[in-house]
Structure 1
Amino acid sequence: MSGKFIVIYGANNLGKTIQTRLLTKKFIDDGENILLVKYPIYTLKPTGPKINKILRDPSEKDRNIKEYDFQKLYTQNRYDFQSTLKLLLSSGFTVLAEDYLGTGIAWGVTNSIKNDGEDEKNITKLINKFENLNKGLLKPDIAILLDGERFLSGIEKKHRNEDRGNSVWDLNRRVYKKLAERYSWKSVKANQSIESVHNDIWKIILKSN
């Protein structure tokens, strides 16, 4: 029997990492075969190391790359892992991912507006543009959006997407919420206790079985 592909989405600094770790432990405790993946996969050459350098090294020559070109690297990274993803699922593994193609669409739209001068009035057009870039990628069986106010303690200094003003983060959150409506993602309030967020996510997963 094929495994489930589950994705946890949300703007940065909302506790996605701790929630995916808790979910992984829950699946293991329940005797499930599970693999936790965090996109992009930085170890996957050639795109992973390149993406990581652009995100985290202010001296990187491509730091100010046009967003569409940057998202091409992310899309290729996802495509390059897709055969492994399909093999795992067909072997009965549950694959739990922190971020995926919806992340690319959300940040593609956000940075096209904030960095490349696109008009925020064109959000729907931009969503279509980055959606088309990700055509052919496997769709998740379950997609869950963590939504809430960011945890400032989680901001990574010098990170291309995180270490910026609140207006960037707020726009990114709005785009994610639009995507949740468009793709019928389930939403969980991220500003509850860690345990409450985990329990809400688990309820969604159980209902989908």
Structure 2
Amino acid sequence: MTRASEVDGTSPKGPRRRRKAEESREVILRAARDLFVSEGYAGVSMRKVAERAGCAPATIYSFFPGKRRLLHQIWEGVFEDLVKELKSSYADDADLEKLCRTYVDFWLDRPDDYRAIFLTEDHPQVSDEGYFVDSSQALPGLDVFCVALTDAQDRGEIERGDPVEMRSVLLCAMHGVALGLITVPEFAWGDSTRLKDNTIRALVRGMRRQET
């Protein structure tokens, strides 16, 4: 019989059980991420994930009710890490170009996470299911770009404009760099650092105030 102290964590067994459960959860997430990258969403089943993770399917269902929820949890964890790095970067040096480099470098350092997120489509299974972008708790953290753009506008470094729209321009262009370098590495892109830096520099310069 499970004692109440074991459930609420006052028994030494409580923390151990929670730690073991968290370790199992992380193993499942890593196994699922690798399968989504190699097999695509349609090619992944909870049974395949269980085989890769070395556990029973029932163990996975104890954490995640279905494959789509599992995929969304992978995405959420990655975006939490991304937002943490972006905010730390901007707190350390309030520079728009540096913030953009941090964003691109994050994906270049984690190419499988990039593939798992941006090469896997999000398809609601039933009509009342929403998209990941509508429910994510981490994605609003990308507003750090709006803060950086507004700060740069206030300092007179770039033109006034809608920071949300300007953020979209930055994100689309930065994704172009990451997508090319990650998914088509055999193309003659030249030096990847110069490609990244020159693209970001051109983007920010294009937003600068025009002298009259």
- Structure 1 length normalisation: TM-score? 0.33
Larger radius of gyration: 2
Which structure shows the higher strand fraction? 1
- Structure 2 length normalisation: TM-score? 0.33
Bigger RCO of structures 1 and 2 (CA < 8 A, at least 6 apart): 1
Which structure shows the higher helix fraction? 2
